[in-house]
Amino acid sequence: MNAVFCVVAVVGIGLSVWAVVMQVIDLRARSESRGRIEAGCGGLVDSDRVLALHGGIDRVEMSDRYRITTGRRDSSCVVYRVGDPGTTYGHFSLDLTLSPSNPNADERLVKVDHEPFDYFTSENRDDVTAVAQYSPPYPLGDGTLGEYDADTVTARAVCEDGGRISSVEAEVAAWHDGPLTSEDRRELSGLARQAAERAAAKNGCRARLPEVPSALPRPRTALGPAAEAGGTCAWYRRHAAVQGRGELPDRALAAPAGKASAHDSCLLAMSPEGTERIWPAYEKRSSRPKDLDEALTLRPLWLQTDTLVGDVTRGLRTGAANRKPVSSGTAGSADGTWWASSVCVGKPALHLMQVSFSYGDILRDRLEPLFRAYVEDATERRGCTGVTFPEASDFAGR
């Protein structure tokens, strides 16, 4: 028994020493990880909060290709969690954008066209427009602080006049196998706000940022009945109820409408049943009708409206065909996109409507009243003035 007790004691001491050694190693790894995040992300985010994401980690590596430089107009950092020896996995990213006070000095180029549905990645290929590839932007509170979607959070510091820059935008994302939880989303919102506030201070931008709201509804990607749409799509429900739906979409994907949001959006689409319903009439009146099977799969019928306010209106371009500038103070159409402009609380605003390739021909006679209904609702809700609409001829043909 004495021998057994001695062996147990020795093993216990060994395990205790090993536990202390491992704890020291973990503490050192965590300290090194803090330093990497601090250096790579420009000191804009609390490294302990980054390490705490996804249940908490101790070891990270930084991407060699990206590094935040707080004086550059665009920079980013990417944090990877370390797994088994020789493996790393995505963990966190931060993108920083500084908008110069002189809009003519802003060289960014942003495409406004996109594709909300993808037949090849759709879970239900018999119903492509049931679920979108992305969610519309949701406002953080009333939108003054920024927006978020299913994967990212964007916080924005709008600078007082007279400085070198007019705004600071910080977009953060947490990379994870599963969807973000409400706790993840709230923590990311805090990190985005922290990054925007710190970057603003480092660049002499005087700005007051609201606190992160307590309620952050989970962003949706599944479309619902257009007749029940609210939020950013409420304007469409009212318009269709008065004008009649006919060839107009029967599905909608909305987000809460933030009065001060820099970006809000409404996605509308036609269900397979709706597409089949309107197709015979379309084929009769069109000299070169599109293929029905293609409209049900590869080229579904959809349209999206967007309002952009402030510095996010800069550098916009239409699709690959013409690359036409979509500039504040102008109105027009190109590449299946129509836009109007206004001024919202002293800031430039753009109101856009993008229509899928086949749908533009089907909705030709309804495009102008539909777009006007959207712009009038968006500008009235925000108290915008100086509205400029496209000419009637812009709706006559693509």
Q: What confidence score (pLDDT) does residue 22 get?
A: 43
Q: What confidence score (pLDDT) does residue 155 get?
A: 98
CA torsion angle 253 258 264 267 (round to 10): 10
Using alpha carbons, list the distances in angstroms from residue 311 to 8, 100, 117, 347, 360: 69, 9, 28, 8, 29
Instruction: Give pLDDT tens digits for 17-29.
Output: 444 444 444 556 6
Which strand ranges, in their side-by-side order, compose the sheet holding 74-82?
60-62, 74-82, 88-100, 165-174, 152-158, 146-148, 138-139
Cβ-contact 305, 266 below 8 angstroms: yes
Instruction: Give pLDDT tens digits for 195-253.
Output: 999 999 999 999 999 999 999 999 999 999 999 999 999 999 999 999 998 999 999 99
Percentage of the residues of the chain whose pLDDT score is greater than 90 = 67
Cβ-contact 268, 249 below 8 angstroms: yes
Please, which pLDDT band fits residue 6 given cuts at 50, 70 and 90? Answer: low
Token pair of 33 as six digits: 């990880």
For 38-66, what is the mean pLDDT? 89
Bridge partners (DSSP) listed for residue 384: 344
Using alpha carbons, list the distances in angstroms from residue 27 to 21, 31, 90: 10, 6, 22
Please, which pLDDT band fits residue 135 given cuts at 50, 70 and 90? Answer: very high
Res 326 pLDDT > 50: yes
Q: What confidence score (pLDDT) does residue 12 get?
A: 54
- For the beta carbon of residue 362, count every other beta carbon within 10 angstroms: 26
Q: Mention every residue, 6+ apart, whose C-beta is less than 8 A from residue 52.
A: 187
For 335-346, what is the mean pLDDT? 95
Q: What confidence score (pLDDT) does residue 19 get?
A: 46
Please, which pLDDT band fits residue 180 given cuts at 50, 70 and 90? Answer: confident
Diameter over CA atoms, the chain: 100
For 175-188, what is the mean pLDDT? 85
Q: What confidence score (pLDDT) does residue 108 get?
A: 83
DSSP H/E element including 24: helix 2-40
Please, which pLDDT band fits residue 10 given cuts at 50, 70 and 90? Answer: low
Please, which pLDDT band fits residue 16 given cuts at 50, 70 and 90? Answer: low
pTM for this predicted structure: 0.89
Please, which pLDDT band fits residue 4 given cuts at 50, 70 and 90? Answer: low
CB contact burial 140-151 (16+ within 10 A = b; e otherwise): bbebbbbbbbbe
- Across 122-182, the runs of DSSP E, i.e. the strands, are 138-139, 146-148, 152-158, 165-174
